[in-house]
Structure 1
């Protein structure tokens, strides 16, 4: 099945950048995309999967639907083989996601028992299953990607913290951009094969750039002064937990690698700071939902000397 090309998605640049950062360094841990319905969140994630497959990156995108059973998520006894007298394990969604992305649409509506499972597996990187008298263990390391509308339910803080980056996806107000989105979508639906061909060169260029960044990531240096500034940004913005510094450091390094640089710069840190810290900076009473991001932006400007 042909999916809408990643590079053809208009107007969601922060979400796209966050996904690319996690593809370069899965250690960033994931992306939480919250905001308005109908803003191409699911389309963008699926498009990334197709791009990675085209690039040969071997990072599958497995989707976890709401209402999925525990057996479907964890895996269970293989019934077909059991009927033949064999005892075997049928892998579940967590096995499908190993080494790639686990995508959950409407993650804020996920059942608590599945949230508990995800927290346990995300922390250990291992899925342990005891079912029908058999035990099975397999590695389950994945980049967690979730999307949802906060008006429909809150996300548990423990799960929110597992997402390395967070982005707020808004409805685009610019009429010309909205018109371009409609035209692209209609063109895609009219002739998916032709539309895919038209974007193939751009997709290949991005795929090559992404793979080069993955290969060069370990060679990207982080100067001591920049590392101290990252810590200062986390402190000044009020970020909760020490995962904040680690995620910001990794995201800034991946951003530098994507830019073809061998050293993290202030620009890389500034670009990574808001998605890395906005969901780790508590909202105060009577503050708007955008206040934590504004506080991170201000702290970043002060620490990096960009204010004024």
Structure 2
């Protein structure tokens, strides 16, 4: 990827997103969350060694630079009030000059052993009491603002910490309170969790808080496996040459994402389609309204990604499984998997013939076209 200065060698080489083979479901879910972070993040469950971390790092590297307030630890937006810290707002009201800088979108890794203080930040009570100032040491949530927060093995993370992450992701703010002193800052990020089902499931009420749920599996096709191995070997042997080969595709996808973000506010979804989405959620006995909201948002984000201002039945078909499969009540006696169950109900409600292979979304991988 090039920077504004046109140089490609300054940062550590990251495997390009457009060179990743397969795992279309995961890639689509990540792209839709970048276009509309209000979709609510992605939970990626699958086998070890299937490229989860590689894909997420590649996505962060793909994204264009953003404008931030130069000396602000929270990556505050220089003009959008919703994405500013209280301190920057105060400076604006006092008509102080706000220095602006550009920086890459950050991907923040949350380590499994992280404490709540490390995640949320800490208040120096002694300094606050002795000097009368709010001495705040920002945590990982501050660093992740306007970026991507990645939690590997999220199913092994302490439930309380998962609650904190999901609350911040939903509200867009992080509040730290100690001894009667309260500090808050913007914490709007795309939350991406990954895990291996063999190591334990998330509690259903926590799983429900993730907007989308992508399942990934080890590629079985020998030809595809060889292609993946060869791609990785070529990158490891000469990263700069490999990046140069994919630079045009990377820039095209980056432009497509930026255009989609700008187009999103004007995308509409027909009332009848919204009613049918809610009917699918109702027939699947999905608790609450998150499923309805996320499916609507994801369908609109997909339409924006493909340059359209009207979401279609096909858009809904391609995202509905991602948005609803993890919200179904588990029945240990049921042999059908949750993704196939979602598609069966979707096809019945929308009056569409069921595809021959319900293992894929709408009879084909739900991926980037």
TM-score (norm 2): 0.77
1:194-213 aligned at under 5 Å gives the runs: 194-213=241-260
In structure 2, C-alpha distance between the alignment counterparts of 1:54 and 1:8, rounded to whole Å: 21
Question: Is the CA contact 2:65–2:104 (under 8 Å) kept in the aligned structure 1?
Answer: no
Question: Is the CA contact 1:282–1:292 (under 8 Å) kept in the aligned structure 2?
Answer: no
1:192 aligned partner: 239
| Alpha-carbon offset, residue 88 of structure 1 | 2.7
1:219-298 aligned at under 5 Å gives the runs: 219-288=266-335, 291-298=337-344
With over 3 angstroms needed to count, the CA separation of the structure-2 counterparts of 1:261 and 1:120, relative to structure 1, is closer
- Match of 1:162, SS? coil
**CA offsets per residue over residues 267-290 of structure 1, 9 Å max, x none?**
0000010000000112212234x6
Question: Is the CA contact 1:72–1:92 (under 8 Å) kept in the aligned structure 2?
Answer: yes
Question: Is the CA contact 1:77–1:132 (under 8 Å) kept in the aligned structure 2?
Answer: no
| Alpha-carbon offset, residue 122 of structure 1 | 3.3
With over 3 angstroms needed to count, the CA separation of the structure-2 counterparts of 1:78 and 1:48, relative to structure 1, is farther
Task: State yes or no: 1:14 paired with 2:47.
Answer: no
In structure 2, C-alpha distance between the alignment counterparts of 1:21 and 1:115, rounded to whole Å: 22
With over 3 angstroms needed to count, the CA separation of the structure-2 counterparts of 1:58 and 1:303, relative to structure 1, is farther
2:172 aligned partner: 125
In structure 1, C-alpha distance between the alignment counterparts of 2:310 and 2:152, rounded to whole Å: 35
Task: State yes or no: 1:299 paired with 2:310.
Answer: no
1:1-308 aligned at under 5 Å gives the runs: 1-53=12-64, 59-77=105-123, 88-131=135-178, 135-288=182-335, 291-307=337-353
Question: Is the CA contact 2:43–2:192 (under 8 Å) kept in the aligned structure 1?
Answer: yes
- Match of 1:260, SS? coil
In structure 1, C-alpha distance between the alignment counterparts of 2:302 and 2:171, rounded to whole Å: 26
| Alpha-carbon offset, residue 53 of structure 1 | 3.7
In structure 2, C-alpha distance between the alignment counterparts of 1:238 and 1:307, rounded to whole Å: 22
- Match of 1:239, SS? coil
Question: Is the CA contact 2:26–2:216 (under 8 Å) kept in the aligned structure 1?
Answer: yes
**CA offsets per residue over residues 230-284 of structure 1, 9 Å max, x none?**
1122122332221100000000000111111110111000001000000011221
In structure 2, C-alpha distance between the alignment counterparts of 1:261 and 1:302, rounded to whole Å: 26
Structure number with greater Rg is 2
With over 3 angstroms needed to count, the CA separation of the structure-2 counterparts of 1:6 and 1:192, relative to structure 1, is same
- Match of 2:310, SS? coil
In structure 1, C-alpha distance between the alignment counterparts of 2:272 and 2:163, rounded to whole Å: 39
With over 3 angstroms needed to count, the CA separation of the structure-2 counterparts of 1:217 and 1:119, relative to structure 1, is closer
In structure 2, C-alpha distance between the alignment counterparts of 1:112 and 1:266, rounded to whole Å: 37
In structure 2, C-alpha distance between the alignment counterparts of 1:53 and 1:210, rounded to whole Å: 9
Provide the aligned length of Structure 1 versus Structure 2: 304
Question: Is the CA contact 2:66–2:105 (under 8 Å) kept in the aligned structure 1?
Answer: no
Q: Of Structure 1 and Structure 2, which has the larger fraction of its residues in helix? A: 1
In structure 1, C-alpha distance between the alignment counterparts of 2:321 and 2:66, rounded to whole Å: 29
| Alpha-carbon offset, residue 63 of structure 1 | 1.5
With over 3 angstroms needed to count, the CA separation of the structure-2 counterparts of 1:55 and 1:193, relative to structure 1, is farther
TM-score (norm 1): 0.92
- Match of 1:278, SS? helix
In structure 1, C-alpha distance between the alignment counterparts of 2:311 and 2:41, rounded to whole Å: 21
**CA offsets per residue over residues 94-113 of structure 1, 9 Å max, x none?**
01111222110000000133
